[in-house]
Structure 1
Amino acid sequence: MHTGLTVGEFSCVTHLSIKTLRHYHDVGLLAPAEVDQGTGYRYYSLDQVPTAQVIVRLRNLDMPVADVKAVLAAEDVSTRNELIAAHLARLEDRLAQAQSAVESLRDLLVRPARRSAIEYRTVREQAAIGIRAVVDQQDLAGWWQGALGELHGFTTARGLRTTGPIGGLFANELLQDERGEALVFVPVDGEVRPVGRIDTLVVPGAELAVAVHRGSLQTIDLTYGDLGSYAARHEIGVDGPLREFYLRSPLDVAEDDQWVTEVCWPIFRADG
């Protein structure tokens, strides 16, 4: 004689479908209180209703099954709350990213017909210090900010005289294959002894088409679109790394809408 709830009854009580309850049993998240060995019927106890209600709320917050299991298995309230707080922080990050994407799309839809002003520039090779790495595209922003800070701290601590703005060189593979070489550099004067990730190098010269991007790097693709389209339209683009100069960066201002970045496209100039 079974005194528990059938899977159908438990489904109605908890608002979890029979299919979901079977899945939770299979993955070890919410096992029935009893399984009839003869019929295979599953029975749940009333004591499991609160657990099911917690599971519903955590899954409604997109918490992965493995994390839900960890919350339920937590031995104390502090551990459980830390797990939930960590997931909520991830949700807030995703919400902020979604909000930023919405604002970026709105800006694109109302963007005026006027495009970026483009100029030509010749840059000579420069002695510099820099940090170079092969980076996944999804990790580039974090790596870039870390490299900026490290180079700034190094030049300040050593009292080095900079001879130009901080810049970056980015291999085409970063966009084409979502992984490629990135370099952040600071032109400096005088001899420097390499330390840690920071090495001495010579930044190659190039002929460039240049446009100024103002604001967050999340919308810098629009400026790159203008530059790349211009180079293709005038048949002056050449193979080579993309280049940026950071006239105002996180080192200078706190708000990213105040950043100023020169975006540079390698070109072939035949005008002397």
Structure 2
Amino acid sequence: MTEDEPVNDDELLTIGAFGARARLSAKALRLYDRLGLLVPAHVDDASGYRYYRADQIERARLVALLRRLDMPLARIADVVETGGATGADRLAAYWADVEARLAAQRTLAEYLRGRLSGRSSEMYGRFEVETVDVPERVVITETRHTLADELPAWIGTSLGRLEKAAEACGGVTAAPFVVYHSEVSMESDGPAEACVPVADEAAARAWAEEHGRSWQTRVRVEPARRLAYTRITKAQVAHPQILAAFEAVEAWMKREGWDYDGPCREVYFADWDAAGPQDAVCDVAFPVRRPG
């Protein structure tokens, strides 16, 4: 029998014959068996030889193709077992995650190439820096000491909690932001302060009195400020490539003769979950003032 001859779906094929039709090696088939991704239809008790049915060929080829996407084995099993439109949706979700990771890695590689080659000024030139005046605002806040790898999850959780709390404080009046009172990196834990501007100061203080101890929440008045900022994409928010944006603003401040007037911050003005890797989501900003 040749590879192109029809095979009855119920016919048992040796691992060699099945592998030839599925375009997979015996080694790969043994691995898929061991992982539970493609179990033989029959294993001879005496010899241990594996036999497969012809109707398993499509599954074998699907598993092999998904492996070429570097999909984790657990997710491959989920996609293959689910199949149909649901399996296709789960594959699409996995690939969206891959593209987001690749976009972040591409940005990081560009940042590191600029650093290694000494092209910092050229790298900073990619960021357009502007200034904006923001009015005095009442904000409800949460403060936490956190390292860089824990920061993204904390920002999302904290801002989400504060935005929900803002419903009892007259509503959100401006984009949420995160203030860095000291460096946050893999070695330094800040602290960072999540802030949501709200409309009703009295209601905010009553809310903070009730929840402040459990959530380390407080209310403060953020003074009117001038911010020097640059707008970045979702991919650029990831650490450490976001550092290039902060450094670009600082280089611009030095060049234009501005002094620091408070700790740096990230202003999140877009729907994070709905944004794609190349969508603008955040302003990296420094409060600034003229010397003297």
Please name the residue that 2:217 is paired with. 199
- Separation of aligned partners in 1, 2:109 and 2:246: 16
Runs of at least 5 residues in structure 1 that lack an aligned partner in the other structure: 120-125, 231-240, 266-270
**Contact 1:165/1:245 (<8 A) preserved:** no
Change (3 A) 1:144 1:63: same
Distance 1:88 1:115, change over 3 A: closer
1:87 match: 91
The reply on whether 1:168 has 2:173 as its aligned counterpart is no
Q: Distance in 2 between matches of 1:57 and 1:165?
A: 44
Q: TM-score, normalised by structure 1?
A: 0.61
**2:175/2:269 contact within 8 Å kept:** no
Distance between the aligned counterparts of 1:154 and 1:66, measured in 2? 38
Change beyond 3 A, Cα 1:82–1:134: farther
Q: Does 1:38 align with 2:31?
A: no
Q: 1 CA distance for matches of 2:124 and 2:191?
A: 34
Q: What are the Cα deviations for residues 118-167 of structure 1, in whole angstroms up to 9, with x where unaligned?
A: x9xxxxxx9852123455645634543554465456557534898x9865
How many pairs were matched up?
Answer: 245
Report the counterpart of residue 222 of structure 1 in structure 2: 244
RMSD: 5.1
Taking the aligned partners of 2:81 and 2:50, their CA distance within structure 1 comes to 22
1:178/1:46 CA distance change after superposition, 3 Å:
farther
- Say if 2:269 is the partner of 1:249: yes
**CA distance in structure 1 between the aligned counterparts of 2:163 and 2:51, rounded to whole angstroms:** 64
- The yes-or-no answer on 1:111 pairing with 2:115 is no
In the alignment, the residues of structure 1 paired with residue 94 and residue 188 of structure 2 have an alpha-carbon distance, to the nearest angstrom, of 23
Once the two structures are TM-superposed, the CA of residue 25 in structure 1 deviates from its matched residue by 1.6
The answer to whether the Cα contact below 8 Å between 1:137 and 1:179 also exists between their aligned partners in 2 is: yes
Find the counterpart in structure 1 of residue 106 from structure 2: 102
Q: Any conservation in 1 of the 2:124–2:247 contact (CA below 8 Å)?
A: no
Q: Match of 2:27?
A: 19
Q: Is the CA contact (8 Å cut-off) linking 1:11 and 1:21 kept in structure 2?
A: yes
1:4-59 CA-to-partner distances (Å, cap 9, x unmatched) read 43322222211112211111122222222333333333232323222212322333
| Aligned residue type for 1:95 | E
Separation in 2 of the partners of 1:136 and 1:87? 32
How high is the sequence identity, in percent, across the aligned residues? 25
Structure-1 separation of matches of 2:246 and 2:66: 41
Counterpart amino acid of residue 168 in structure 1:
V
